[in-house]
Chain A
Amino acid sequence: MIEIKGVTKTYGKKQNAFLALDDINFTIPTGTTVAIIGKSGSGKSTLMHAISGLDRPEVGEVIIDGENILTLKQRKIDAFRASKMSFIFQSFFIQPNETCYDNVVLPLEIAGVPRGQRRAKVEAALAAVELTDKIRKKASTLSGGQKQRLAIARAIVNEPEILFADEPTGNLDSTTGGIVEDFLFNYSKKNNATLIVVTHDQELADKCDAQVVIVDGKIASITGFKKTTLKAKDEEKLLEPGEEEELLEATNERHDGGAA
């Protein structure tokens, strides 16, 4: 379970200060798939960084399994990410000159998994994304979709409890994107792992159990959560499925109008 309490992040100082995240509160039950939706610059990536401990907001708590990771020492957060979390990025970030094996084994090396156990884990992860035959191939020989599948294999090889996907299908066409999405949701379902997808793709967001819409650093609407997981002041933002699109459009219009 991930509890996000009053997370606030400011960039810059004094009159130049920019509120990237403004008092964000919600709770993600273990095994849920959550979409964080918003336009670029809305603060959705900042929120993901805060939940994963990559960024440290000055105010608020991110409590994962009873521990506030924002007050942990850097080494503990690193160890936490190495053993419990993983990431998938829009631009894959795979090492093209290395073999698929060497790409996938990286998190195991970082987590200090004994050498004897690595091969089996890498093979299992590659099998899960149907890239078993590419194990000795250089990553640069793969197609775009295969590269993202390789990134998924790298993300799931150490069996993380929380998987972050930042625009995982942003660089893929809809067919290959669909395949990649299936691999992600399958992993979450099979392992009861929490999947947090950051996207502006409504279709992908709809496949998730819950949706959090971020506008200008604030939660504009939340869908799919039980009321008990929310703070009282956010309960009014809890919408029924289908309602949130209307609201999103409305806020976007307001946002655009303000910008123009």
Chain B
Amino acid sequence: MKISDTIRRAGRSLRQAKARTLLTSLAIGVGAFTITLSLAGGQGGREYTDAIVKANTDVNEISLTKKVPVTTSIQEYSPDAAGMTTDGFGGSLPTITNKDIEDMLKIDGVESVTPNYAPSVNYITAEGKKKFVATISTFSPSVTLDFKAGSVSGNLKDDEIILTEDYVEVLGFANAADAVGKKIEINATKLSTTFAAQPETKDFVYTVKGVSDASGLAFRSQGSLLISSDAAKEMYTYINEGTSAYGQFFLAAVRVKDASQAEAIKTILNDKGYDAQTAADVLGTVNTFINVLLGILLGFGALAVLTSVFGIINTQYISVLERTQQIGLMKALGMSARDVGRLFKFEAAWVGFLGGAIGSGLAFIVGTIANPFITDALKLGNIYLLKFDPIQIAIVVIGLMLISVAAGIFPARKASRLDPIEALRTE
């Protein structure tokens, strides 16, 4: 018997038991639905974090903190325990000092070391407007930004600033484009004079170079205003000079000359007592989280598929019993045991195909409809969390067909071993 004829006969048999076929398929469909959605979520999630990390980190950059010393016994007080500063939570964190930075620069392959200045300023304002709280971060040319208006090519000049969208309206600009080229002021206090009768403050004036979008990708610079590294250093120096915290940083970025050296330099830095993370590490951490989540969801899907396997075995057994005479006739007419078995395996494959197609199709429709709402609820900007890959869906459907065939093996064997004489005995 030709394979194509067997497949068509199998399909026809299923059509004659529509309700049963559909119900059995739906059981697999639940599994297919779950699996397709989890895979789409995993795919979208990975792409999302990938985009975030790519937009916010640089492959040439290693971010590091000093390792927190693990103390196993009470330590004696030392008045000159240099390089420790309070972290504001009652404990103390080790900090990176200028001497550390000099040491790091001596490592072969290190291009530059930039401490995280993060100057804490009082407010931002424009002429004749109210004052608003702001955080300042350092602009990095390797970090991708979505611009609402204006743009930056290469590095930012020292008197330039990138605003976020939120500040446009409150600072009295008509729209983002209107803000570009305008001047804004940032006020900071010199900390060493805080307790003086008249604390010393200074207005730093910047020209708006661009307005960044409230993108779902930016997590480091979200809400932060960006100025050049040198401008940040200048502001930091003004604010902190003369205090005990001056020249001590929690965070620094090591720039390597070649991205391929990043991993080796990271090892050296770790040996020297730093917690160093490359861009790949950051991505890896986030992806591990996503993979665990994905694994749990896939587990549920697999469970649903496992349940449906018993459904297939059950319905196929009933089908064999119901069609005893038909099988007997086909065998009497010369159909081989192999072809009879094949007929039932193809029926199972059809059920798997139907279930897979229904489940995946529903998942695709539901996911496509839900995507904008998810993005809205999670504030992902212009990114969709569920990414459907046609190849992935095809693999899911084919995989379920194979599983169904495996489930159909026992009933098919029963059918193929049926004795035609017994089957055709008239009652």
Contact = CB atoms under 8 A, between A and B. Distances in A.
Partners in one complex: yes
Interface of A: 49, 52, 54-55, 74-75, 78-83, 85-87, 89-91, 93, 95, 97-98, 102, 106-107, 109-112
A98 B323 CA distance: 14
B421 to A, nearest CB: 5
B16 interface: yes
A49 B328 CA distance: 13
Given A54-B420, A89-B424, A80 B330 contact: no
B335 A110 contact: yes
Given A54-B420, A74-B337, A109-B5, 10 more contacts: A55-B421, A79-B336, A81-B332, A82-B333, A87-B332, A90-B426, A93-B326, A93-B424, A107-B334, A110-B333
Nearest to B328: A93
Interface in B197-216: none
Contacts of B329: 87, 89, 93
A82 to B, nearest CB: 3
A98 B11 CA distance: 12
A121 to B, nearest CB: 15
Contact of B336 (A49, A52, A78, A102): A78
Given A93-B424, A110-B335, A102 B12 contact: yes
A91 B335 CA distance: 20
Contacts of A97: 16
Contacts of A85: 334
A111 B334 contact: yes
B2 A86 contact: no
A79 B325 contact: no
B50 interface: no
Contacts of B5: 109
B230 interface: no
B334 A110 contact: yes
Given A90-B426, A93-B424, A106 B12 contact: no
Nearest to B323: A95
B330 A112 contact: no
A28 B301 CA distance: 63
A87 B421 contact: no
A89 B330 CA distance: 13
Contacts of A89: 329, 424, 426
A80 B334 contact: yes
B12 A98 contact: yes
Contacts of B414: none
Interface in B254-311: none
Nearest to A154: B333
Contacts of B337: 74, 78
Contacts of A49: 421
A95 B330 CA distance: 11
A109 B334 contact: no
B70 interface: no
A79 B332 contact: no
B1 interface: yes
Q: What 4 A-B pairs have minimum CB-CB distances, sorted nearest first? A: A82-B334, A81-B334, A109-B5, A97-B16
A111 B328 CA distance: 16
A82 B335 CA distance: 7
A87 B420 CA distance: 12
B424 A81 contact: no
A109 B9 CA distance: 10
27 contacts: A54-B421, A55-B421, A78-B334, A78-B335, A79-B336, A80-B334, A81-B332, A81-B333, A82-B334, A86-B333, A87-B332, A87-B333, A89-B329, A89-B426, A90-B426, A91-B325, A91-B426, A93-B328, A93-B329, A106-B330, A106-B333, A109-B5, A109-B9, A110-B1, A110-B333, A110-B334, A112-B2
A37 to B, nearest CB: 18
Given A109-B2, A110-B1, A112-B1, A54 B426 contact: no
Contacts of A75: 336
A193 B169 CA distance: 98
A78 B424 CA distance: 16
Nearest to A105: B5
Contacts of B16: 97-98
Contacts of B9: 109
Interface in B1-43: 1-2, 5, 9, 12, 16
Nearest to A77: B334
A54 B332 contact: yes
A83 B333 CA distance: 9
A79 B339 CA distance: 12
A120 B9 CA distance: 20
Contacts of A106: 330, 333
A75 to B, nearest CB: 6
Which of A75, A78, A81, A97 counts the most B-chain CB atoms under 10 A from its CB? A78
A76 B175 CA distance: 86
A89 B328 CA distance: 12
Interface string B349-369: 000000000000000000000
A161 to B, nearest CB: 13
Contacts of B328: 93
A87 B325 CA distance: 13
A45 to B, nearest CB: 8
Contacts of A82: 333-335
Contacts of A111: 334
Given A79-B334, A82-B334, A93 B325 contact: yes
A87 B139 CA distance: 88
A175 to B, nearest CB: 22
Contacts of A52: 332
A250 B156 CA distance: 120
B424 to A, nearest CB: 6
A107 B421 contact: no
Nearest to B425: A45
A260 to B, nearest CB: 26
A109 B4 CA distance: 10
